[in-house]
Structure formats: structure tokens, C-alpha cells
Homo-oligomer: A and B are copies of this chain.
Amino acid sequence: MGKKPVIMVTNDDGISAPGLRTLIDIVKPLGRVLVIAPDKPQSGTAHSITINVPLRIHTIRKEADYEEYSCNGTPVDCVKLGHKILLKGKPDLLVSGINHGSNASISIIYSGTMAAVIESAVDGIPSVGFSLSDYSSKADFSACRSFLPKIINGVLNQGLPDGVCLNVNIPAVKEKDIRGIKICRQARASWVEDFDERKDPNGHDYYWLKGIFVKIDNGEDTDEWAIENNYISILPVQFDFTAYQWIDHFKKWTFNENT
């Protein structure tokens, strides 16, 4: 069926994360694969880019139809280096993950995994991020091995609309307990800060950022609902931040000093 597609793979947990290794196994039979992932964990780096430090690429493997590299940057840097330096062009598909931990709901905004996906979609490439709702490095990816090829083949064969990428979240249950795949909207929620306050040996305060996930949206059409009910959630993602429904509201404002 013609030329093999070029599939780029990245993540935010770093080059040696089991989730990345699983995703590589899944896409290897589907095309020519280029892996470029951060050389260390980059969870929570969101859409950050490296501008004050030079970037370096480390070659790990270079074979027919398979190349693997790490770099000292963020997931978004990986996408940019992959296009310009390694491929000297664009892949047919970008996949990111499999993240160790959910990126559903508002977590998408902190996620390096999904930032790579969005960066790639801004460049017009069909792009999908995968996250398993299990933070453990020993997480069980067997359900992913069963369902992800269906989703990836779906995207390879049907493409994605311009300006849209996918945020796929897989519940941390056994394959047999997964009830199916649901197309969802993003649940409204926030991570409420909950710092761990400590004192160093010199008596100075310091703080570890923790967080409590607070959901304020129980809609059965949301990604959170789907995952809690053992469905794989697929969120179609866009990157236009405009709150269109409020444009007319603000057009009525008068910006006088004392309005």
C-alpha cells in the first residue's frame, strides 16, 4: 500500500520511560519511526521551550526504518529539533507518551506530553498524545497494547482535521475491563495548590509543590467521567484560546478611566 508513513515519537517522562518504550513497540510495525525524547524527566514542563541554553542531540540508534535520539530540551524542543535537524521535514504522524499519569481535564495545560502534540498540530501534522492513569514506573500497559493500534491506524488512515489533535487517556484497568472508547469534552477542574512546607538545616523555609485535583464538572460527556467509568477517552484538542462566546460581551465595554 505505498510508502511507509514516517512516525515521530516523543514523551515527557524521558527516553527510558516504560511508557515510551511501549509506544515505540506499538508504532514500529506501522511505519518508519523516529524517536526523539528528553534525556531526563520533563513532567510539568508544559509548552516550555529552551532559549537560554543550547540544545544537544544524542544519537542512540540508527537503523533502517528506526532512529532513536535523546536531547537535553523539553518535549516541544524535541518536536522542533525532530523537524528541522533530524527529519529536515515533517513526519506523517506524531505520537507522544505513553504518559505515566492522566492528562485528562485541566492536567492537559501542565503536560509536556500534550504540549509536544499541540506543537506538532500547530505545524499541521496529525498528532496524538497517550496517557495512562497510573503514575507508577511499573504501570501495566497491556490495555494500551491492545487499543492504541486501533486509534493510531484510525488516524493514519482517516487523518485529522486541520488545527485538531487528540488527547487520549487510558484508565488504569485490565484490558478486559475496558468498556470502549468515548469521544469527550474536557472536564472543568483545577489543581488546588497544597505546598509541603519545610525548613532546611539553616532554618530557612522551602516549599514542595503538591496539588489536589478538584473536579467541578460531573458531565457524563467529559474525559474524567469516561476514565472513571473504564472508558478510554479521546478529546479532540484545539489551540485557539479565543473565548468566542464572549467577544460581543467585551465589545460593549467602554474603557473609560472610571467605568
Q: Which of A92-131 contact B (CB under 8 A)?
A: 106, 108-110, 115, 118, 122-123
Bound: A57/B147 CA distance, A: 46
Bound: A198/B56 CA distance, A: 10
Main secondary structure of the interface of A (DSSP, over half): mixed
Chain B residues with Cβ under 8 A from A84's Cβ? 193-195
Q: Is the CB of B48 within 8 A of A45?
A: yes
Known contacts A109-B239, A195-B85, A246-B164, A256 near B150 by CB under 8 Å: yes
**A43 to B, closest residue via Cβ:** B51
The bracket for how many chain A residues form the interface is 35 or more
18 contacts between A and B (CB under 8 A): A45-B48, A55-B208, A55-B209, A57-B207, A81-B193, A81-B195, A81-B207, A108-B241, A151-B255, A154-B256, A161-B243, A161-B246, A164-B246, A181-B255, A185-B247, A186-B240, A186-B241, A238-B243
Chain B residues with Cβ under 8 A from A122's Cβ? 106, 109, 190
Bound: A250/B106 CA distance, A: 21
